[in-house]
Amino acid sequence: MSEHTESLPSAAPVRRAVDRRGVDISRALDRHDRRIGWMDLLRGLSILLVILHHSTQIVDYRIGEVPAFFEFLSAFFAPYRMPMLMFLSGLLVAGSLKTPTGPYIWGKVRRILWPIVVWTLVYAASERIVGQGDYMPWELGFWNTYLWFMQFIFAYYLLALLIRWIPAWVMVAVPFVVMFLIPAELELLQRFFYLMPFFFLGAFIEKHWDQYARLLSVPLAAVLSVIPLGVALYSGFVDALWYEPWSALPAILGILILVRLTAVVPDAGWLAPVRFVGRYSLIYYVAHYPVFAALGWLAMKAGITTPGIGLVVIFTATVAISTGFALLGRRMPVKLLFELPKRPWPARRTQPERR
């Protein structure tokens, strides 16, 4: 979801991060001439897991109790789904801050704030149709939707302007402490501070990517992968870790390990569909919720009573329809559902000079 463009490397000699196999990974965050495949892969996996989780919820609500395996999957990936998306968003923010403040803010308005407004209206309209929406646009509850994640990201991008003057690690440490001070009943506010360290940790790691890659070698990360696995198993079998403050540190360690391992994964062709989802993650995220909610309502009206079948159908159809939006979302006028033009007004044509 970032608009970061990496500058060309300096002509001066620099130290390169090289793993034990001699592979140079110093270009792992370089976007000036390519997509970052491993980031698209992680982002795509996270989005698909979000859709699976929400499909599980709608089936449980509209059709019946889902098989325990799907409940386990939702809880198993709970520590990493949204935090990983936040980390990846922050991982490229320091580079995008090289642009002037005005274009930086406008980029976030047209690609984050605009789809929040559009899809909140879409969601509110769909709620009205099924007779469940009772908030008006001037009420706070009207904006309290599944788009909280986008609202958080927009706020984090604005706060990221501070790291031009404040070290990024401060923006990691302060919210990490604050989230322990927020009362549990203020769930959304606590979640805001819970996810903030993941975003700014990404910004910190971007600035120190080579050091990070050298300190956490691939063999060491492979050994330490028991940490994210153990956290996920605890979340799946014992107690689902839904933004619990004490779980933030192991989740952070797990994400750092998973990112280090994924950064050296080759761009295999069979993973191209997942990378496609990651490339258009914003479209999948904003579009999927109204889609699966409508499908769940239709499944209930159609009299589907088998939760397992309903879940597979709703998940598959939601991904397929969201993919259609992703394919069409690059073309006008559908593109206006997801972003505003780069310029808020047409470029002024210069008149040829008369002699």
Residue spans of the chain under pLDDT 50: 2-18, 20-26, 32-33, 355
CA nearest to 89, candidates 157, 167, 189: 157
**Which long-range CB contacts under 8 A does 30-34 form with residues at least 24 apart?**
30/6, 31/4, 31/5, 31/6, 31/92, 31/95, 32/5, 32/6, 32/7, 32/8
**Can you give the pLDDT at residue 283?**
93
Q: In the 3-class helix/strand/coil scheme, how is 73-118 assigned residue by residue?
A: HHHHCCCCHHHHHHHHHHCCHHHHCCCCHHHHHHHHHHHHHHHHHH
Round to whole Å and give the CA distance between 33 and 15: 21
Domain membership of residue 52 (yes or no) is: yes
pLDDT at position 3 = 43
Residue 154 lies in a domain: yes
Q: What is the DSSP secondary structure assignment for residue 344, as one 8-state letter?
A: S
Q: What is the pLDDT of residue 17?
A: 46
pLDDT of residue 140: 73
The total domain count for the chain is 1
Torsion 323-327-329-334 (CA) sign? negative
pLDDT of res. 97: 85
**d(C-alpha 29, C-alpha 44), whole Å:** 17
Task: For residues 114 and 229, give the distance between their C-alpha atoms in angstroms, rounded to a whole number.
Answer: 37
What is residue 348's predicted lDDT score, i.e. its pLDDT? 56
According to DSSP, the residues that pair with 24 across neighbouring strands are 18
Peptide bond into 333 cis (omega under 30): yes
pLDDT of residue 28: 55
Of 224, 226, 225, 244, nearest to 235 (Cα)?
A: 244
pLDDT at 11: 33
**Domain span at 237:** 37-337
- CB neighbour class for 253 (10 Å; exposed up to 12, middle 13-18, buried from 19): middle
1 lies in a domain? no
The pLDDT, as a whole number, for residue 272 is 92
Q: What is the pTM of this model?
A: 0.84
Within the chain, residue ranges assigned H as helices are 37-62, 68-76, 81-90, 93-96, 101-108, 114-129, 148-159, 168-181, 187-207, 209-215, 218-224, 226-237, 248-262, 272-279, 281-301, 307-328
pLDDT of residue 1: 53
Residue 318 in any domain: the answer is yes
One-letter identity of residue 44: G
